[in-house]
Chain A
Amino acid sequence: MADGRPLRRAPWIVFGLAVIGAMIAPVFREPPRDSFPLSDYPMFSTVRGPAYIDVVVGFDAEGTLHRIPPRLVANAEVMQAAQTVALAVRSGRARVLCEEVAARVAADPSRASIVRLEVQSRYFDPRTYFAGDGPAEPLRLLRRGRCEVPR
């Protein structure tokens, strides 16, 4: 092994300790704190019981329900769309969000049949949702806001 340039060990030791120390620090907070890129990695850790999920749904003139894809709610990312609806419900802005989404639905020719939207909180038990032949109906349903699709 030739040695073209010496390795300075001390900076690497300090840097390594700082990086690993920073990574494990969120775990020692009470409660543990999630952030980025330093995280306590809470995904899939908590017990998931029955819960409400906030969604935007559309209805055609016959009253048939149509699901509204994430890209019309926030962006292509389903989690960002979920958070957008949840935040709107929590902050009492369900009606505002409904109208924003309605404008996007109106501009989407593939959803020309949808005449109105609702922001709903739908209550499901994840353990029974897939027990039947198709997706289950909500166990409870709260209507948080509604609006017409401008045509």
Chain B
Amino acid sequence: MRPFYFQEAPGRRLAAVRVLVFGFALGWLVGYAKVVLSVLAFPAHRFAPIGVVSLLEAPLPKPLGLAIWGVAVIASAAALLGAFYRVAAPVSALALLWVATYRSSWGMIFHTENLLVMHALVLAVAPAADAWSIDAWRDPSRRARGDEVHARYGVGLRLMAMITVTAYVLAGIAKLRAAGGVWLDGDVLLSHVAWDNLRKLELGDLHSPIGAFFCRTPEVFGPLAWTSLLLELGAPLALLGPRLGRLWSFGIWAFHLGVLVLMAIAFVYPLTGIAFAPFLAPERWVDRLRGQSRRN
């Protein structure tokens, strides 16, 4: 019987997840820099610190905020490449935690980067640079370890999967707690799709014409509400086996695609599939690509 927590996994699997997660973090920090850094210019009276930023009583001076972002970028690049990983990964994860929390410390709490930050924090303490890394390239004994299949590589992936599952279960509980069984008749979901699209229209932003169209057919929202809640509350099943994990990952990915189509809200981390990489075997994709290139 497979152990629940200390499951074995190849070192290359953990390394592949490291590349995906820190690669996404780097892409988010750089690609989203304009938005992330714009809060540094917000007026101080709007400062409403949360999480780790609650340590501050006033906003950071702009140069310091910029410096922390810069550290996050450099450390994430190093963690992605697996260079000086034992230092780079914790620095990257903590700086990412700071930057993402600071962005949410102005009255609007975003829920799009929670999993990214939590996954990076787990990777920061996992031996994720024993393969496919500059550290492993420099150290042959480390490189040899990275080819092993061992629980020291699997446990971090398992915890990342548990974090993903917990987040979705909490989202399901929140719906039942706030709205009760009413959430299941679809009316609450319809009201959110309509409200979100009307808010975007009124605020001069892009909205989803598809979502607006479906607001005229309320009967579609009942099945959508049931499906959403089943996927969220049924998330722990994904931990029972690799097939269930893959099946659930696809279901939740489709759920996020639905949110994008109906509400024009992009949860990019799950939509790329990277949030579900701990349920998958991404190292096999690389192996397949290598096999193909050898045949060619």
| Interface residues of A, Cβ cutoff 8 Å to B | 1-7, 9, 12-13, 15-16, 19-20, 23-24, 26-27, 32, 34-49, 51, 53, 55, 67-70, 73-87, 91, 93, 122, 124, 126-127, 129-131, 135
Q: Of A12, A44, A67, which is within 8 A of B202 by CB?
A: A67
The answer to whether B109 has its CB under 8 Å from any CB of chain A is yes
* B window 82-119: CB within 8 A of A: 97, 100-101, 104, 106-111, 113-114, 117-118
* B window 231-259: CB within 8 A of A: none
- Least distance between A55 CB and chain B CB atoms (Å): 5
- Between A and B, 26 residue pairs with Cβ closer than 8 Å are A1-B150, A7-B6, A12-B159, A16-B162, A19-B159, A26-B170, A35-B109, A36-B114, A39-B111, A44-B188, A47-B188, A55-B203, A70-B204, A76-B35, A77-B35, A79-B108, A80-B39, A83-B106, A91-B45, A126-B194, A126-B195, A127-B194, A130-B215, A130-B216, A131-B215, A135-B198
Contacts of A5 in B (CB 8 A): 127, 145, 152
| Interface residues of B, Cβ cutoff 8 Å to A | 5-6, 8, 34-35, 38-39, 42, 45-46, 50-51, 97, 100-101, 104, 106-111, 113-114, 117-118, 121-122, 125, 127, 141, 144-145, 148-152, 155, 159, 162-163, 166-167, 170-171, 173-175, 177-179, 182-183, 188-192, 194-195, 197-205, 212-213, 215-216
Q: Of A12, A48, A130, which is within 8 A of B188 by CB?
A: A48
Cα distance A78–B125 when bound, in Å? 35
Contacts of A13 in B (CB 8 A): 5
- Least distance between A132 CB and chain B CB atoms (Å): 9
- Least distance between A78 CB and chain B CB atoms (Å): 4
Q: Is A38 touching B51 in the complex (CB atoms < 8 A)?
A: yes
Q: Is A53 touching B192 in the complex (CB atoms < 8 A)?
A: no
Q: Of A42, A44, A75, which is within 8 A of B189 by CB?
A: A44
Q: Is B107 touching A83 in the complex (CB atoms < 8 A)?
A: yes
- Given known contacts A3-B150, A130-B215, A135 and B203 CB-to-CB distance under 8 angstroms: no
Who on chain B is nearest to A131 by CB? B216
Task: Report the 7 A-B pairs with minimum CB-CB distance, sorted nearest first.
Answer: A67-B204, A48-B191, A126-B194, A41-B171, A75-B38, A4-B145, A83-B108
Q: Is B191 touching A41 in the complex (CB atoms < 8 A)?
A: no
Q: Is A23 touching B34 in the complex (CB atoms < 8 A)?
A: no
- Given known contacts A76-B34, A122-B202, A35 and B163 CB-to-CB distance under 8 angstroms: no
Cα distance A4–B177 when bound, in Å? 48
- Least distance between A47 CB and chain B CB atoms (Å): 5
Cα distance A19–B97 when bound, in Å? 14
- Least distance between A74 CB and chain B CB atoms (Å): 7
Q: Is B194 touching A45 in the complex (CB atoms < 8 A)?
A: no
- Least distance between A87 CB and chain B CB atoms (Å): 5
Who on chain A is nearest to B212 by CB? A130
Q: Is A39 touching B109 in the complex (CB atoms < 8 A)?
A: yes
Q: Among A49, A74, A80, which residue has the most Cβ atoms of chain B within 10 A?
A: A80
Cα distance A92–B171 when bound, in Å? 34
Who on chain A is nearest to B176 by CB? A45
Q: Is B108 touching A7 in the complex (CB atoms < 8 A)?
A: no
Cα distance A1–B6 when bound, in Å? 15
Q: Is B192 touching A48 in the complex (CB atoms < 8 A)?
A: yes
Contacts of B39 in A (CB 8 A): 75, 80
Contacts of B191 in A (CB 8 A): 47-49, 126-127
Cα distance A1–B215 when bound, in Å? 56
- Least distance between B254 CB and chain A CB atoms (Å): 16
Q: Is A36 touching B101 in the complex (CB atoms < 8 A)?
A: yes
Q: Is A44 touching B192 in the complex (CB atoms < 8 A)?
A: yes
Q: Is B113 touching A37 in the complex (CB atoms < 8 A)?
A: yes
- Least distance between A99 CB and chain B CB atoms (Å): 13
